[in-house]
Amino acid sequence: MKIGELAAHYQVELAALYESNEAKALFNIAAEHVLSLSPNQQVMQKETDIPFINMQKLLSILNDLEIGKPIQHILEEAHFYGSVFKVNEHVLIPRPETEELVDWMISVCNSLRSVHNGKVISVLDIGTGSGCIPITLKKHLQNAEVSTLDVSADAIVVARQNALKMGVEINFIEADILSYSTEQKFDIIVSNPPYIRDLEKADMHHNVLSHEPHLALFVSNENPLIFYKAIADFAKTNLKPKGLLFFEINEYLGNDTVDMLKEKGFLHIELRQDMQGKDRMVMAEIGMEEV
């Protein structure tokens, strides 16, 4: 079978699950992984026959896609901020909005270098997952000492593998933020905690519901900010003077999150939208009086 023919076959077989452009993108990702051809090269070589062993790999990927398995889990890798991270069923697949949060953090931290006079900036990430946030921060902030916390031992295994692969040193903590305490103080705390309400499940793609860890995704309708409140309370105790708290948030709960932070005494709260115009991230500063 030729490359163009298999691309068309993907579109037909995945029509029940994905829009045409999504199916095309999935083939592009699979073919780039197996054939080492960019999407443009795939088009230019659409009349090229696919070697048998590669054909078998691409058909196997198609079989997994047909049962709703995410392409990132099939290939066991996901791209994030210019790096390739190992992922599996124990961790969330990194999302573009999280890249935007990390980019914002890096920009803010770089602007604070003169304030810190080259001193080490201590960072705590809460909710390690694949390690995409702490590892990326460590890679791009040369003067950062980064710790990361997760309740899932399986997630920490994956994140450790990614840190080793990328040659960065991260302090891993296995703990539940709802009960965790420490005497350590941080300049920055960041978290992308579970924030999807049970009522929003009906709007989600089935491959997320079936293949990504619910522990990292969902909260009750009654208390959707449970992790944000706990992390904000932790930050009040464990941020240094003028320390910063960053959150990725539920797009529908931006104002609620801001109001919660105001009630807890945080200052200079900034709510930001992602590239799709959705409220997706917040930055707040702890006041001197909280320390």
- pLDDT beneath 70, residues of the chain: 113-117, 195, 197-220, 222, 289-291
Query: Would the pTM count as exceeding 0.95?
Result: no
To 10 degrees, what angle do helices 226-238 and 254-263 make? 40
Domain boundaries, the chain: 3-67, 89-290
157-216 tens-digit pLDDT = 999 999 999 999 999 999 999 999 999 999 999 999 876 766 565 555 555 545 556 555
- The β-bridge partners of 79 are 84
Calculate the alpha carbon distances from 229 to 64, 175, 210, 234, 283 in Å. Answer: 39, 17, 28, 9, 14
Topology (CATH) of 89-290: Rossmann fold (3.40.50)
The predicted pLDDT at position 258 comes to: 97
